[in-house]
Amino acid sequence: MENTTDPFFEDLSIGYTVWSGSRLVTKDEIIDFAKLWDPQPFHTDEAKSGDTFFGKLVASGAHTYAITMRLGVDSRVLTGNAVAGFGVDEMRFRAPVLPESRLLARFTVRAMRPSSSKTGLGIVKWEAETFDQDGTCVLSAFITNLYRRRESAVGAEASSSGSMK
């Protein structure tokens, strides 16, 4: 499903899935990112990378996660009414990302509940999976975010409980 609006907490449900657009990862981008944030030879030097575990230039895991986040923001699931990130759990780098890979991500709601301490907000746990152009999963993680709730839903909840928060 393509997301065309910033979802509120009430717009989401367990199993709700959004696919992102795709992004090309270039050799220059891999090297530039790694020079700043993960300066290891298999990320920064195509010639030296041949003598490493990977045997070739590969993107940093941090770079792959940054791309995943960008895909989530561009897909409008990790922005707008997602007001804060709580954390990332069980992140796994499943396969290397090579120059000229085209990545896309799938975001699936795995858990959600109204916040018990912040009226007007809900907590959503997304499973994020990033794939290359061959369908190989290169990254998986669980991303937990705080979402705005619609005022009408918050008001109805307060009325049914007999208290206003």
Domains of the chain: 9-161 (3.10.129.10)
The length of the chain in residues reads 165
Predicted confidence band of residue 162 (pLDDT cuts 50, 70, 90): very low
4 pLDDT exceeds 80?
Answer: no
- What average pLDDT score do residues 124-144 get? 99
Helix residue spans in 38-121 (DSSP H)? 41-44, 46-49, 61-74
What rounded mean pLDDT belongs to the chain? 91
How high is the pLDDT of residue 164? 35
CA distance 91 to 60: 14
105 pLDDT exceeds 60?
Answer: yes
Whole-prediction pTM? 0.87
How high is the pLDDT of residue 153? 55
Q: Of residues 153 and 133, which shows the higher confidence score?
A: 133
CA distance 66 to 69: 5
Query: Rounded to the nearest 10 degrees, what angle do helices 61-74 and 27-37 cross at?
Result: 110
107 pLDDT exceeds 50?
Answer: yes
Q: Show the tokens assigned to 160.
A: 């049914």
CA distance 14 to 34: 36
- What average pLDDT score do residues 10-34 get? 97
Are 42 and 31 in contact, with CB atoms under 8 Å apart?
no
Q: Show the tokens assigned to 134.
A: 């061959």
CA angle 41, 87, 64 (to 5 degrees): 30
9 pLDDT exceeds 70?
Answer: yes
How high is the pLDDT of residue 154? 57
pLDDT in tens, 73-94: 999 999 889 999 999 999 999 9
